[in-house]
Structure 1
Amino acid sequence: MNTKHILCKLAVGLSLALLTQTIQAQSSRIKDFNNNGWYMYFGDHKLHSKWGLHTELQWRRHNLIKDPQQLLIRTGINYDLTPAAMFTLGYGFIETHPYGDFPAAGTFPEHRIYEQLQLKSNLDRVGLMHRYRLEQRWIKPADADSYTYLNRARYMIKATLPLVGPTLEAKEPFLAVYDEVFVGFGNNIQRNIFDQNRAYAALGYKFSNAATLELGYLNQIVQKANGVVFEHNHTLQVSLFYHLNFTE
């Protein structure tokens, strides 16, 4: 048997092994379906020609609004690198409650530092936003005595389409869609290198140059730390964006 035949057999064997492993992994997955509601406020407030303040509050509920899911408070310092590029350094506090068919052992806190780069551009009538974020996370599970440190990277692309004219102006509606992927890395990541994915579509209205509202649907897939349980969360998302300019 020549070398070529040996290599072909090894390649076929490896492919079959990988296929078998993938099928077994998928067959062992457990799906957890939830209906959630996220009610959110975002603000980027201009304090200087280059500097600004980010403020954010998210009230996340399980069973649309009935039960608690998460409370997220986030703030940060913005710096405009260019008119289309903004860097943010910030802190977030998150309190997560047990929910779903595979809940956590109890309510637990998370402290988070993040670094973010946001880029804006246009493609004909469509406004595009790319957001790159790194997170350093300290999580204390309810059944643990100390915090666990985790790293995570996130990438979002969002598109906004005006429904009236070529550009989005005050008192006009628009459509918005985005997708965001989360990837964990570092020593304490278990089996969930893929952390989650969020796919979103919404109808929005720009009340003024400062205030915008979006009402949309978020499809969220979350892989739990054990790599077995996958949450499939259908989420009503209500978002208020209110940006103040204190330099004017």
Structure 2
Amino acid sequence: MTKSTLILLSLLFVFFQALGQKADQPSVTTMEETGLWFGAYLKIQFSPKLGYYGEHHWRVRNSLDDVWSFYGRKRQMYNRFGLNIFFNEYFEGVIGPTLVLNFTPEPGNPEYEKVTYEPRIWHQWLLKMPQIGRFKIYHQFRFEHRWKRKNDVNAEYKYTNRYRYKLFAYIPLNTKKIKPKTFFFSPSAELFMHSGKSIGANPMEDFRTYNGFGYVLNQNITFFVGHMYTLGQKTSGYEYRSSNILRFNVFIGLDTQKAENTIPKINLGY
């Protein structure tokens, strides 16, 4: 049994243990949000070992009076930066800062601040498996250290750690391998756990499935559109919230090395 398989089984054990909490209470799931997320991902390789990684997101959510409207309120502006380290062909890491702007859940309500700022430090480890047929499979481990506060006026910052594991794949549809002019399908599943003084009966922050289709325009640009479903645990431990999000992304990969060494940079851990 491989090390990554052991880690996955451990995370799944914690996940199902979280789902089983408060067994004496009936589980309740409420669909609370729909939204549109727009993302730009930038990856620049400076040398065989080092590069720059960036993510920039604009997120909106449904109006207060229609949960299925997908649009109506600003949700977040999300900026993540990092130093990309390439250890070998199958393993790379990123470390850097993040700044998230969280907008008020009720525009015009004086009980909420219009925007709060959420700084983070994050690091990520990406394992790339050898291609099997048309399948290219990835294991992504991401860790975030967050200072976050609610939009309530005078709310205090709370420190939490977040632990994420994502399993995803790229499956080319019109070619055998990913290359320019390739259409591809990408399924993924990601588990979010978190810890901190403010976390009690709700260790499972989120579980996401994100599936969609992409197109590799050329060596530097890839487009991707997909649907994401989320399931998150509320503070009670037996209540859950879910959401449906449509995501639209562009991936920009640049390589300052010789042109013949470049490949389409789509493995960005979206």
TM-score range (shorter-chain normalised) is 0.7 to 0.9
Aligned pairs (5 A) from 1:178-197: 178-197=188-207
Corresponding residue of 1:94: 100
Give the Cα separation in 1 of the matches to 2:236 and 2:116: 18
Give the Cα separation in 2 of the matches to 1:62 and 1:181: 22
Percent identity (aligned): 24
1:113 to 121, 144, 161: 121
Query: Does 1:175 find its partner at 2:185?
Result: yes
Aligned pairs (5 A) from 1:28-107: 29=28, 31-63=30-62, 64-99=70-105, 105-106=112-113, 107=115
Task: Give unmatched runs, 5+ long, in structure 1.
Answer: 1-18
Give the partner amino acid of 1:86: E
Give the Cα separation in 1 of the matches to 2:242 and 2:191: 14
Give the partner amino acid of 1:84: Y
Deviation, 1:92, is 0.8
Aligned pairs (5 A) from 1:200-211: 200-211=210-221
Give the partner amino acid of 2:90: A
Corresponding residue of 1:24: 25
1:140 to 136, 149, 159: 149
Corresponding residue of 2:4: none
The answer to whether the Cα contact below 8 Å between 2:35 and 2:244 also exists between their aligned partners in 1 is yes
Corresponding residue of 1:13: none
- Larger strand share, 1 or 2: 1
Deviation, 1:178, is 0.6
The answer to whether the Cα contact below 8 Å between 1:128 and 1:158 also exists between their aligned partners in 2 is yes
Moved over 6 A (4+): none
Give the Cα separation in 2 of the matches to 1:134 and 1:210: 28
1:74 aligns to what SS in structure 2? strand
Give the Cα separation in 1 of the matches to 2:234 and 2:118: 16
Task: Give unmatched runs, 5+ long, in structure 2.
Answer: 1-19, 63-69, 259-270
Query: In the superposition, relative to structure 1, how do residues 228 and 22 fare at CA in structure 2: closer, same or farther (>3 Å)?
Result: closer
Aligned residues: 226
Deviations 1:24-59 (A, max 9, x none): 141xx3614321111001111101221000111011
Deviation, 1:105, is 4.7
Deviation, 1:176, is 0.7
Q: Over alpha carbons, which structure has the higher Rg?
A: 1
Give the partner amino acid of 1:73: N
Q: What is the TM-score when the length of structure 2 is the normalising length?
A: 0.77
Deviation, 1:228, is 5.7
